[in-house]
Amino acid sequence: MSVLVIAEHNNKKLNALTGNVITAAAKIDADVHILVAGNDCSAVAESSAEYDGVSKVLLADKPSHEHHLPESLGPLVIELATNYTAILLAASTTGKNLAPRVAALLDVAQISDIVAVEAADTFVRPVYAGNALATVQSNDSIKIITVRTSAFDETASGNTKAPIEYVDFALEQDSSRFVSENLAVSERPELAAASIVISGGRGLGSAENFQILEKLADKLGAAIGASRAAVDAGYVGNDLQVGQTGKIVAPDLYIAVGISGAIQHLAGMKDSKVIVAINSDADAPIFQVADYGLVADLFQVLPEIDALLS
Amino acid sequence: MKILVPVKRVIDANIKVRVSADNSAVDLNNVKMSMNPFCEIAVEEAVRLKEKGIASEIVAITIGDEKSQEQLRTAMALGVDRSIWIEQAGNIEPLSIAKLLKAVVDKESPDLVILGKQSIDGDNNQVGQMLAALCNMPQGTFAYKLEIEDGRAIVSREIDGGEQVVSLALPAVVTTDLRLNEPRYAKLPDIMKAKKKPIDHLTPADLGIEISSSLKTLSVKEPAGRSAGVIVNSAQELIDKLRNEAKVIS
Ligand SMILES: Cc1cc2nc3c(=O)[nH]c(=O)nc-3n(C[C@H](O)[C@H](O)[C@H](O)COP(=O)(O)OP(=O)(O)OC[C@H]3O[C@@H](n4cnc5c(N)ncnc54)[C@H](O)[C@@H]3O)c2cc1C
Ligand SMILES: Nc1ncnc2c1ncn2[C@@H]1O[C@H](COP(=O)(O)O)[C@@H](O)[C@H]1O
C-alpha cells in the first residue's frame, strides 16, 4: 500500500513545505502519492509530479476546493483514504485545520507534529512546548499525521515526472463560506523556509523600531520573526510569531533581539543551528540557549551591526 | 443562544516540566495545575457574548479526574452558568474526548461550541476539529475575532501568512487563538457564588461512550539540551564570530 501527502499550495504555486512532508512520508513507505486539491491548480500538480520518489499525483480541481475549507476537503480525503496506510500533511494552519477532521471521520487517531519516523507505525513528537519528546506507536490501519516540516529536509525535485490522475469528487456545502483573506506580502524569504531569521520582542518597543530589524534582515537575506509579546503589542502581524503557538523554525542562524526567552518562545526556535541573543538583561533565559550572547542595549548595537555588515 | 465551552485542566503554563526518571511520562506530582490558557480565552469569549446579550446560557464541560472540577469552578466564577463533569482519569486521546463532547452536544444542542485551539500539555490541536467532524458542524479554528450576524458565526482566523475570514452556519465549532481576547480575573464574590452553581456528574458509560486508545506511548524523553555558548563583548566580536567561527553569514 502507499502513503498520501496532501500538497500545500495557493492554487498557483506549490508551497515548498510539501517537499519536507514527502521526506517524512517516504520513511513510512517508498510509494508516495500526492493529492493536489484546489481550483484551477493544474500548475501545482505539474510541479508536485517532479518530486523524487512520487509515483502518482491526484488532482482534484474544483471550484468548491478553492479555499481548502476542511468542510469540503474532508469528504474528498475520506473518499481516497482507504487506498493508503498513512496520510500526511504539513503541521501548518491548513494542515492542522484539516487533519483532525479527516481522522475523526475515519474513526482513527491523529498524530500531531511529528519530528521523526522511527518505524512505519512509530513516530516521535514534541509535547509540553517541546520540553519532552514522546515516542508513540499507532495501531490504526490508516495513520493521519501532521509533520513538523523544520525537522525534515526537502525532497529533491526535477529529475522525474509522475503521472497525474484526475479525481472527480466535489461536495457542495454551504455550512462554511469563505469570506476574505488578507495575506502579508513580503519580498523577504518565508519564515518557515529561511536560512536566517531575525526576531524581535517586546524590547523593540514599537512597530517603527521593527524597521531597524527589517534593514538588517534585508542585508542578511533573512526572514523577520517576532515573539508573542511583540505581536500582541501590535508591532507586527501574527503571521510572524515564532513559538509553541506560532511558527516552528530551525534556520542556520536565529537572532533573537529584545526577547526574554520564555519556554513558549524557545519551543519555536531552539532547534536552530546557531542562536544569537541580544538583550540588555544578562539574566534573560534566552542566553541559556544562545551560542553567542551580547548583553547590550539593542538600540545601540543594532546600528553598529548594520554598519559592520555594509 | 446556548454556548458550550469544553475546558481542560493542564500543568500551569509557567512551569517547566520534568520527564519522569523511567522515561515513561512527564512528572505531574505536586506541580501547579490550571485551566488551559486557550480554554480561559474560550470562557472569556462566551462570557462576553452573554454580556452583549447574544448568548443566554453558558455551559462548561470537562473530562478529567476529581480535581478537574476546580477548573469548572473557575469557569463558573468567570461567568459560566453551570457545568458538566465527565469523570475519567488518565490520559485520554483527543478522539475519545471529541466523542464524549459529541454525546453532550447531542443532549444539550448548543448553538456554538467554543474550545481552545490547543492544550498546552499534549499540544494536540485536534479536539475542536474532531468534534466539528463528528457533529457534522462547520469549524472556525484559530479565531482572533468572533461575531454573530444573521444566524451565522463570522470567524476571523489566524493563518500562516496572514488572516482569513469564514462565515459559518450555526451550530458551529470555534477554537480560540491567543489574540481573541484577554481573559479577566475572577473576583472574590464571584468565586463564592460559583460554589453554589451546579455541576452535573457523568461518566463515559452514562453517555454510552467507550474510551478507546490506538496510540501507545513507548517513551517520553527530555530533548537534547542546548548549552549556553559564549558571551561576546561587542557587535564587532559578534559579527567576527558569525563570519569566521560559525560561518553562517558572509
Ligand atoms: C499558552 C501560551 C502560548 C504562548 N505562545 C507563545 C509563542 O508561540 N511565542 C512566543 O513568543 N510567546 C508565546 N507566549 C508568551 C510567552 O510566555 C512570553 O510572554 C513572550 O514570549 C514574551 O515575549 P518577549 O520576550 O518579547 O517579551 P518580554 O518577556 O517582556 O521580554 C522582553 C525582553 O526585552 C529585553 N529588552 C528590553 N529593552 C531592551 C533593549 N533596549 N535592548 C535589549 N534588550 C531589551 C528585556 O530585557 C526582556 O528580556 C505564550 C504564552 C502562553 C501562556
Ligand atoms: N479533557 C478535556 N476536557 C474538556 N475539554 C477538553 C479536554 N481536552 C481537550 N479539550 C478541549 O479541546 C481543546 C483542544 O485540545 P487538544 O486538541 O487536546 O489540543 C482544549 O483547549 C479544550 O477546549
Q: What is the pLDDT of residues A203-223, one digit of tens each?
A: 999 999 999 999 999 999 999
Residue B242 falls inside a structural domain: no
Most B CBs within 10 Å, among A89, A121, A274, to test the B interface? A274
Per-residue pLDDT for A7 more than 90?
yes
Contact B218 A69 (CB under 8 A): no
Nearest CA to ligand 1 atom 15: A228
CB contacts under 8 A, B 88-147 vs A, are 93-95, 98, 117-118, 120-134, 137-142, 144
Q: Give the pLDDT score at A186.
A: 84
Per-residue pLDDT for B193 more than 90?
yes
Instruction: Indicate the top mutation candidate among A202, A212, A240, A249 to test ligand 1's pocket, ranked by most ligand atoms within 8 A of CB.
Output: A202
Cell of A240: 510572524
Contact B218 A264 (CB under 8 A): no
Task: Verify whether ligand 2 is closer than 6 Å to residue B36 (CB atom).
Answer: yes
pLDDT tier at B13, thresholds 50, 70, 90: very high
Is residue A97 less than 8 Å (CB to CB) from chain B?
yes
pLDDT tier at A51, thresholds 50, 70, 90: very high
pLDDT tier at B16, thresholds 50, 70, 90: confident
Q: Give the pLDDT score at A297.
A: 98
Per-residue pLDDT for A193 more than 90?
no
Q: Give the pLDDT score at B138.
A: 98
Q: Give the pLDDT score at B225.
A: 82
Per-residue pLDDT for B108 more than 90?
yes
Query: Model-level pTM?
Result: 0.96
Across A164-173, A183-192, A295-304, least confident range: A183-192
Which atom of ligand 1 is closest in space to residue A246's alpha carbon?
A: 8
Ligand nearest to the backbone CA of B16: 1
User: What is the signed CA dihedral for B162, B168, B173, B176, rounded to 10 degrees?
Assistant: 30
Q: For residue B148, what is the domain's CATH number?
A: 3.40.50.620
Q: What is the mean pLDDT of residues A32-47?
A: 98
Q: What is the pLDDT of residues A149-168, one digit of tens each?
A: 999 999 999 999 999 999 99
Q: Which of A144, A17, A19 is nearest to A81 (CA)?
A: A144
Residue B178 falls inside a structural domain: yes
Q: Give the pLDDT score at A172.
A: 86
Enclosing domain of residue B143: 2-220
Q: Give the pLDDT score at A187.
A: 85
Q: Output the average pLDDT for chain B.
A: 96
Most A CBs within 10 Å, among B93, B129, B174, B219, to test the A interface? B129
How far is the centre of ligand 2, averaged over its atoms, from the C-alpha of B101 (Å)? 10
Burial class (CB in 10 A: 0-12, 13-18, 19+), B189: exposed
Cell of A175: 455550512
Q: Which of A242, A244, A241, A243 is nearest to A231 (CA)?
A: A241
Residue B225 falls inside a structural domain: no
Q: Contact A298/A216 with Cβ under 8 angstroms?
A: no
Contact B218 A289 (CB under 8 A): no
Cell of B83: 457545568
Residue B30 falls inside a structural domain: yes
| % of chain B exceeding 70 in pLDDT | 100
Residue B46 falls inside a structural domain: yes
Contacts with B117 (C-beta within 8 Å, 6 or more apart), sequence order: A245, B38, B125, B128, B141, B142, B175, B176, B177
Is residue A96 less than 8 Å (CB to CB) from chain B?
yes
Instruction: Indicate the top mutation candidate among B38, B119, B121, B125 to test ligand 2's pocket, ranked by most ligand atoms within 8 A of CB.
Output: B119
ipTM for this prediction: 0.95
CA gap A297, A290 in Å, rounded: 17
Chain A residues within 8 A of B177 when measuring between CB atoms: 238, 245
CA gap A57, A33 in Å, rounded: 6
**Domain count of chain B?**
1
Per-residue pLDDT for B228 more than 90?
no
Residue B239 falls inside a structural domain: no
Residue that wins the pLDDT comparison between B226 and A233: A233
Q: Contact A213/A224 with Cβ under 8 angstroms?
A: yes
| % of chain A exceeding 90 in pLDDT | 94
Burial class (CB in 10 A: 0-12, 13-18, 19+), A304: middle
| % of chain A exceeding 70 in pLDDT | 100
Q: What is the mean pLDDT of residues A116-132?
A: 96
CB contacts under 8 A, B 176-195 vs A, are 177-179
Task: Give me the count of residues in chain B.
Answer: 250
Pairing of strands A132-138, A84-90: unpaired
Residue B131 falls inside a structural domain: yes
pLDDT tier at A80, thresholds 50, 70, 90: very high
Alpha-carbon A40 to chain mean position: 24
Q: Give the pLDDT score at B175.
A: 98
